[in-house]
Amino acid sequence: MLRFVIRRLLLLVPILLGLSILVFAWIRALPGGPAEALLGERLTPESRAQVEEQYGLNDPVYVQYWRYFKTTVVDRDLGTSITTRRAISDELKERFPATIELAVGAMLFAMTVGIPLGYFAAKKYGGTFDHASLLISLLGVSIPIFFLAILLKYIFAIKLGLLPTVGRQSVLIDTPHPTNFYILDAILAGDPEALWDCIKHLILPAIALGSIPLAIVARITRAATLDVQNEDYVRTARAKGLSPRAVDLRHIFRNAMLPIATIVGLQTGLLLSGAVLTETVFAWPGIGTWLVEAIDNRNYPVLQGGILFISLVFVLVNLIVDVSYALINPRIRVS
C-alpha cells in the first residue's frame, strides 16, 4: 500500500512539469496580453509597449518560461497577480478555502439527498418512488445551474425572505478569519450567530452547485444497489436468516458504496476546480471566478500558478479516492 501511494506521488512530478509547459504555451498562444485589460479604452501604442516591457513579454518564449520555472520551483513563489498586484499564494489562501467550503457543502447536499434517494429507488424498484427519483435526477442534470441559482434566490430570498442572496457572510457581522473557512472561523470564534449566518449563506449555493452531483450520485446509488441486491452473497445472507436490516447494512449498502465512493471522489475533485457559474451568481469568491477573470485579463501568473495548483489538487483527490477504494475493498488491497 505504501509503495502504491509513493509511486503515485512520484508520478506527480512529470505530470506537473508537463502541465506547466502546456499551460504556459496555451495561454501565451492566446492573442493579446495584459495591457488591454489593464488600460481598456486608454490603450495607446506607447502605453502598451511600456506594459509589455514591465512584464517581460518582449523576451523570447523560452526565456519567459525559464523565468516562470525558476520563480515557481526554485524560489517557491507562485508569482504576483498582474491586475491586483498581490501574491498569488495569498489569493489562493483566500479563494481556495471558499471553493472547498462550497464543494463540501454541495457534496454533502448531494450525498445526504442523493444516496437515500437512489437507495430507496432501488429498493422500491419500478414503483412511483423510483420514477420520481428518476425525474428528480433528470431535473438536476438538465436545469442550468445559473437558472436554478437565480430561481432559488428569487423564491427563498426575495419572496420568502429566508436566506441571503450573495456572499459568504452578512457584512453586518464581523468575525476574524484565521483560516478563511468561514464556518470554521465562526466556530473558532465561538460565535453562534456568525455560525448560523455563514451556514445560511452556504445553503443556496450548495444546493445549486450540488444539483448535478445529486443526480449522478442518486443514479449511481440506485444502479449499484440494484446490482448488489441480486448478488449471490445477498441471497445467501437472506437464506441464513439474517434480519432484513442486517442484510441491508452489512451486505447491500456496504458493497454498493464502492462505486458511490469513486463517484463522490471524482465529483468532489471536479468541484474543487471551481464552480464558475455558482460563484458568479452568488458572488462567492472562489477559484472559478478567479481563473475565468484571469483568462479575460490575460493574467498569466494567476493562470499559470492557479491551474497548476488545481491540477495538483485534482491528482491528489484522485489518489485519495484510489486509496480509499483499496481500503474499502480488501481484494484490491491485496493485488
Partner 1 sequence: MGKSRWLLLLVAALALALGGCGGDDGDDEAGGGDGGESGGTLVFAGASDPVALDGALVSDGESIRVITQLFETLIGLKPGTTELEPALATEWEVNDDATVFTFTLREGVKFHDGTDFNAEAVCFNFDRWYNFKGPLQNPSASYYWQSFFGGFAKNESEDLSPSLFKSCEAQDDTTAVLTLTKPSASMLGALTQQAFSIASPKALEEFEADAGTVDEETGFKPTGTFGTEHPIGTGPFKFESWTRGDRLVLSRYDDYWGEKAKLDEVIIRPIGDNAARLQALQNDEIQGYDLVEPQDVPTIEGDENLKIIERPAFNVAYVTINQAQKPMDKLEVRQAVAYGLDREAVVNNFYGGRGVVATQMMPPEVMGYADDVTEYTYDPEKSKELLQKAGLTLPVPIDFWYPTDVSRPYMPDPKRNFEALAASLNKAGFKVTAHSAPWSPDYLGRVDEGTAGHLNLIGWTGDFADPDNFIGVFFQSFSPQFGFRNPELFNLLDQGEAEADEAKREEIYQQANRLIMDFLPAVPYAHSKPALGFRADVDGYIASPTTNESFATVSIGGGE
Rounded to whole angstroms, what are the CA distances from 134 to 38, 145, 213, 276? 49, 19, 14, 27
The vertex-327 CA angle with 247 and 230, nearest 5°, equals 30
- 115 vs 215, beta carbon nearer partner 1: 115
- 170 vs 324, beta carbon nearer partner 1: 170
- 227 vs 293, beta carbon nearer partner 1: 293
- 117 vs 263, beta carbon nearer partner 1: 117
Rounded to whole angstroms, what are the CA distances from 130 to 3, 122, 154, 261? 44, 7, 30, 22
- 188 vs 332, beta carbon nearer partner 1: 188
- 6 vs 125, beta carbon nearer partner 1: 125
Smallest gap from Cβ 196 to partner 1, in A, equals 7
Smallest gap from Cβ 11 to partner 1, in A, equals 27
Smallest gap from Cβ 192 to partner 1, in A, equals 11
Smallest gap from Cβ 326 to partner 1, in A, equals 28
Smallest gap from Cβ 140 to partner 1, in A, equals 17
Nine-digit cell at 2? 505504501
Nine-digit cell at 117? 434517494
Smallest gap from Cβ 169 to partner 1, in A, equals 7
Residue 202: φ, ψ to 5°: -85, -20
Smallest gap from Cβ 2 to partner 1, in A, equals 37
- 107 vs 284, beta carbon nearer partner 1: 284
